[in-house]
Amino acid sequence: MASPHPSAAASRYRTLLSPLDLGPLTLRNRIVMGSMHTGLEDHPGDAGRLAAFLGERARGGAGLIVTGGFSPNRSGRLSLDGAQASEHLLRRHPRITQEVHEADGRIVLQLLHAGRYAAQPLAASATAGRSPLSPFRSRRLTRRGVSRTIEQFAASARRAVEAGYDGVEIMGSEGYLLNQFLAPATNRRRDRWGRGAEGRRALPLAVAAAVREAIGPDALLTYRLSLVDLVPGGQTWDETIVLARGLQERGVDVLSSGIGWHEARVPTIVTSVPRGAFVPLTAQLRREVDLPVIASNRLHDPDLAESVVARGDADLVSMARPLLADPHLPRKLAEGRSGQIVACIACNQSCLDKVFDHQRASCLVNPRAAHETELVLTPVVQRRARRVAVVGAGPAGLEAALAAAERGHVVTLFEASQEIGGQLRLAARIPGKEDYALALRSWRMRLASAGVGIRLGTRPSAEDLQEFHDVIVATGVTPRLVDLPGFAPQAEAPAAGPQVVTYQDLLEERAVAGERVAIIGAGGIGVDVAEYLTSPIPSATLDAATWREHWGVLDPSAHRGGVAARRTPPEAPADPPTDGRRAREVHLLQRKETKIGAGLGRTTGWVHRAELRRAGVVQHTGVAYERIDEQGLHLLEDGEERVLDVDTVVLCTGQESVTGLAAELLEARSGRLPRVHVIGGADVAAELDAQRAIRQAVEVAAAL
């Protein structure tokens, strides 16, 4: 990957961008696009879309690409129609490998047997049982079944190489089948495939040996190794190192770090996990084996990635979701454009949450991801460029302005406040969501590079916008108020009774919460506000050691599985917090009778619910609000009247679209007025759905 600015690249990302001999291959840099299932792997008819998705990352400069997981047999599929490395499916894959190779990329196919995680009735594992992730009980693999599984791994690997892949990766981490055989908690066999640590690692070693024989010496063999299982009854560090050395003896070329099982009650990749929290384990592994090692998990920051490789903590860095957000991340680093990288915020809303719901993955900040053939931003010739006004600089407006400008239109962005970001700027103030600010920084840099004119502190009228061909109205939302006695927000605390504020007042620091707080509305915003009011100071996300202690992560060399025994956080703290947490009594209330946080993301909701329990937030469901007066908040709960003696009531009761400008433009429409497009929250105020808003913004810009 040639760089027009080699001196800039050499001075800042010299090690990360340097070539590396890896087994039989030479990689152009140390950046790996780790395995991510997108949903495009499952059906032969999606091979063209998958080729476009992976080819885009190869053109963007990734040194090595690892596909999503393909099962070696039917029982190992993640779902009934999940991906399997069958002859029928892989017959379509030469177009994928050719697309990557034409861009000078290298690609390996990941072989993944789901084991007890398979959400289908053919599930099989080391021991019979059901995982928390599947409705189906897995059967125990017979000894013949184990032997056939080894053969099927080898046959699948051979087919992958025949389809043009540069090699294969064996998934031995994250709690899938091979990991299940390694852990005493899930392998209670008394035959040669169990009965002690040596028997438990026999299957992974046999699979590695069979795959190496099947693909020969000229193909790359990587193994994703669980460095810490984060489940009771997982592996010890000594067992992991013995396994790693055995894999090396059987011809594995590189070890890729895996962290935690999917069922672990410790978050490993969500945005509240500190950056590089698990790098010390990768560094320790690298000292124990004579193989290249790939670091992974929360390595989104290129500066951090460079330091990890430069220090010798790892030989390569896996940047899976960052390359989902920006397929051209490596190229931008090489060209000295690191500030223009589309920042992944590790929200999981459009990627992992979608996959676990059996939908096609994408990316909140890059809706074109895995939709490259459908959502196309075609450049316009200069004579067809339109003058475009975008009003509102929240996520929808920012992305609409950028997408339109990148197509070649002349764009002016108006924002009534003095800062861009809208509701996303507020979200970045929630402890654990600090990385959301990276997205705003990225938008600023990219808007400037695209030549978008930005007018802050400006609220244009319909008359002001007549000179434009198109006006994209992205004026966002305003907090919805409650029409009950005493619920009107107050600028100052009253002489008696609680002060009523909106979540926006609180997060923009126009109001300060007292020691006893009631939060009305327990959707995503209400949960965020509860964490904002109760989280440790400073945020545990900003210090890896504090975070590990917070979540009970232990040294796997001293504690099997690397995690403390499961604890049940108290519903209310018995004593004032001693860990820096803000000492407040917080009540979180909702009208629905469902569990609070039930509508949060599949991969992140449980983290937020655990934090609420740990902080002692008092949760109320099925309540009816009556009034607020000098006594406090009056409500009905379980059919009985109750008064909460609080000094602050925070309204998180939803949002309403800000539609004034759109109505003004549409009402004044005439032949000479611009075309009007309403997007984001101004179109639908739906619980701050940034995913929908940003995709809608790109779709509108693509159609201009």
Q: What is the CATH number of the domain that holds 284?
A: 3.20.20.70
Pairwise CA distance, residues 328 & 61, whole Å:
6
Gap between the Cα atoms of 698 and 309, Å rounded: 36
Residues 6+ apart with CB under 8 A from 473: 391, 392, 661, 662, 665, 676, 677, 678, 679, 682
Q: Considering the domain boundaries, does residue 321 fall inside one?
A: no
What is the reported pLDDT for 422? Answer: 94
pLDDT exceeds cutoff 90 at 3: no
Place of tokens 């029409």: 483
Tell me: pLDDT of 429 over 90: yes
pLDDT tens digits, residue range 263-315?
A: 999 999 999 999 999 999 999 999 999 999 999 999 999 999 999 999 999 99
Instruction: Classify burial at 449, counting beta carbons within 10 Å of its beta carbon; exposed 0-12, middle 13-18, buried 19 or more.
Output: middle
* Band of residue 570 on the pLDDT scale cut at 50, 70, 90: very low
Active site residue 625: no
End-to-end, the C-alpha distance of the chain in Å comes to 33
Mean pLDDT over 653-676 rounds to: 86
User: Does any domain span residue 44?
Assistant: no
How far is the C-alpha of 122 from the C-alpha of 181, rounded, in Å? 17
Q: Are residues 127 and 247 in the same domain?
A: yes
440 and 514, same domain (yes or no)? no
The distance of Cα 687 from the centroid of its chain, to the nearest Å, equals 19
pTM of the model: 0.94
Q: What is the mean pLDDT of the chain?
A: 94
DSSP string, 379-401: ---GGG--EEEEE--SHHHHHHH
Distance of alpha carbon 445 from alpha carbon 438, whole angstroms: 11
Burial 364-389 (b: 16+ CB within 10 A, else e): bbbbbbbbbeebebeeeeeeebbebb
**pLDDT over 50 (residue 351):** yes
Tell me, yes or no, whether 174 lies in a domain: yes
* Per-residue confidence band for 523, with pLDDT thresholds at 50, 70 and 90: very high
Same domain, 422 and 531: no
136, 233: one domain: yes
pLDDT at 321 over 90: yes
Interval 68-91 mean pLDDT = 97
517, 621: one domain: yes
The last residue of a domain, from among 258, 277, 312: 312
| In-domain check, residue 318 | no
Query: Residue 343 pLDDT > 70, yes or no?
Result: yes
In a domain, 527, yes or no: yes
The values of phi and psi at residue 28, to 5°, are -75, -20
Instruction: Give 669's pLDDT tier (boundaries 50, 70, 90).
Output: low
Task: Report residue 569's pLDDT band, with 50, 70 and 90 as the boundaries.
Answer: very low
Q: Is the pLDDT of residue 8 over 60?
A: no
Res 537: pLDDT: 87
pLDDT tens-place string over residues 158-185: 999 999 999 999 999 999 999 999 999 9
Q: Which domain holds residue 188?
A: 16-28+67-312
pLDDT average, residue stretch 431-454: 96
Same domain, 606 and 472: no
Neighbouring C-beta atoms of residue 579, cutoff 10 Å: 11
Please give the Cα distance from 403 to 442 (Å, whole number): 14
**Residues 278 and 156 reside in one and the same domain:** yes
Q: Which helix (H) or strand (E) holds 210?
A: helix 202-215
Q: Specify whether 252 is located in the same domain as 145.
A: yes
CATH code, domain carrying 471: 3.40.50.720
Find how far residue 504's CA is from the centre of its chain. Answer: 25
Average of pLDDT values for 665-688? 83
Percent above pLDDT 90 for the chain: 90
- pLDDT recorded at residue 4: 43
Which CATH number do you get for residue 589?
A: 3.50.50.60
pLDDT of residue 356: 86
Whether 211 has a pLDDT exceeding 50, the answer reads yes
pLDDT in tens, 593-647: 999 998 899 999 999 999 999 999 999 999 999 999 999 999 999 989 999 999 9
pLDDT, tens digit, for every residue of 118-152? 999 999 999 999 999 999 999 999 999 999 999 99
Same domain for 603 and 469, yes or no, is no
SS3 (DSSP) at 139: strand
Quote the pLDDT of residue 580. Answer: 46
Do 164 and 300 belong to one domain?
Answer: yes
Number of domains in the chain: 3
Of 257, 283, 312, the position where a domain reaches its end is: 312
Residue 609, in any domain of the structure: yes
In a domain, 254, yes or no: yes
Q: Percent of the chain scored above 70 by pLDDT?
A: 95
> Pick the catalytic residue: 13, 117, 165, 176?
176
Dist CA 689 CA 318 (whole Å)? 29
Residues 231 and 114 in one domain: yes
Tokens at 194, concatenated: 């169990």
**Is residue 308 domain-resident?**
yes
User: Same structural domain for residues 389 and 253?
Assistant: no
- Please give the helix or strand (H or E) that residue 226 lies within, else none: strand 220-228
Greater pLDDT, 2 or 275: 275
**Closest to 401 (Cα-Cα) out of 669, 11, 704:** 704
Confidence of residue 576 (pLDDT cuts 50, 70, 90): very low
d(CA 138, CA 140): 7
